[in-house]
Amino acid sequence: IATLNVNGLRDNTKREHFINYILAKDIDICFIQETHITNLNDVNKFKKSWEGKCYFSFGGHHSRGVGIIFRKHLDIKITKYKYDNNGRILSLELYINNEKYKLINIYAPNRESDR
């Protein structure tokens, strides 16, 4: 399990480098922040490169956005999928290989007053 601030995944070259890094490091579950993924079209582009399952809370073109991605060999079944409208929170309740988990990815604002 890993967590990474990717500072944008909309660029094809950057997305490919990120995916190659995850695969090379044998990371099964990755929490990602600052995806800059804004809509389902962006998600579909990501899915063309990533063979596993992926879930996102949409951010802006130049900020925010969080996701949780899973390698394809994991047997996962999502029972709850919650996210906020600001691309800062993503919560999944799921079973991985028949064990129950709750995964939460939070990307807090930089300014303390906004937290």
Give tens-digit pLDDT for 39-81: 999 999 999 999 999 999 999 888 999 999 999 999 999 999 9
Summarize pLDDT for 95-105 with one digit per residue, the tens: 999 999 999 99
Other CB atoms within 10 A of residue 63 CB: 16
The whole-number pLDDT of residue 110 equals 76
CB 1 within 8 A of CB 74: no
User: What is the mean pLDDT of the segment spanning 13-39?
Assistant: 96
Share of the chain above pLDDT 90, in %: 89
pLDDT band at 29 (very low <50, low <70, confident <90, very high): very high
Helices (H), the chain: 12-24, 40-49
Going by the annotation, the residues of the binding site for Mg(2+) are 5, 34
Q: What is the DSSP letter of 65?
A: -
Structurally, what CATH architecture does the domain formed by 2-114 represent?
Answer: 4-Layer Sandwich (3.60)
Name the phi and psi angles at 107, rounded to 5. -115, 100
Q: What is the pTM of this model?
A: 0.93
The whole-number pLDDT of residue 102 equals 98
pLDDT at 89 over 80: yes
Share of the chain above pLDDT 70, in %: 99
Going by the annotation, the residues of the binding site are 5, 34
